[in-house]
Structure formats: C-alpha cells, structure tokens
Amino acid sequence: MAQTFTMEDLKERLQARQHKMTPQRQTVLQIFLEHPGEHLSAEDVHSILRENKSEIGLATVYRSLELLSDLGILQKMEFGDGCSRYEVNTTNPSEHHHHHLICTNCGKVIEFEDDLMDDLEADIEKKMGFHVENHQVKFYGVCKECQQA
C-alpha cells in the first residue's frame, strides 16, 4: 500500500542523495503533496504555480522534475501521449507500486492497486534466471464515464 509523505520526509530523501532542498524544489514538491494521486505534467505544475503567483519558470520546473525523478523522489510516467507525468514515488522497494488504467478517449488516468504480477515474476525468474526488481503495468481502454457518454 502506498504511504503518505510530508515535506520533511521528502527533504530527508533529497538530502540522503546529497542534494539540497532549494526553495524552488520545495515549492514544486509542495504541489505534489497538495494534489495526491494526481499525475501532473511539467505544464500542470507550472500552471498551478502561476495560479499561486509563483515566479518559478517552466524551465526550472522541468529541471526540478527531472532531478527529483532521477533521484527516485518522484516517479516519471509515460502514458503514450508524448507527455511525461509525475507523482510522488511512494513505492517500497520490497513491494510493487500501483498500476494505471488510461482512457484512450478522455486521457484520464486511474490507479489500480491489485498486483497480479507476482506469479508472472516468479515464472520469469525460474525460467529465465532474471530477477525482477520492479515493473509498470498500463492498461489502455475506455473509462466508465466515456462508455456511458
């Protein structure tokens, strides 16, 4: 199960990787704490910052998101539309994270918690000698709302 993080938790994770919590990084991370469960693009983050009268530019947002993603603090996801989206990386290395259901009609992303991949991973390890450390599963289809429309 995913856990909830505070700004102090995220600051400790950043410092453990020899990076400082700059005011810009803190502001960007605060956006994710205020929008739990949302998959935000750099443009989404920048738009929220502008609404909040922040002076942080789009290039700084991109740099911050890339660094935080490279450090494993944010998880970067691609949903096939050419736009990277991010969320706080809540994965425990001993557990797998949630998966995503992506509506090909409206673009909505729904998180799916059940992990049905354990047997497949064990089979891969047994047959191929390959130890799976993590995985991502994305299901593409049409959401309930779009089907009803």
Binding-site residues from annotation = 97, 103, 106, 135, 143, 146
- Nearest to 67, CA basis, from 137, 19, 129, 132: 19
Q: 119 in helix, strand or coil?
A: helix
- Residue that has been written with the tokens 């992506």 in this structure: 102
In the sheet that holds 99-103, the strands lie side by side as 109-112, 99-103, 138-141
Q: Which residues are annotated as a binding site for Fe cation?
A: 97, 135
Q: Which residues are annotated as a binding site for Zn(2+)?
A: 103, 106, 143, 146
Q: How far apart are CA 141 and CA 33, in angstroms?
A: 28
- Residue that has been written with the tokens 């064990």 in this structure: 122
**DSSP bridge partners of 123:** none
Q: DSSP for 85-100?
A: EEEE----TTS---EE
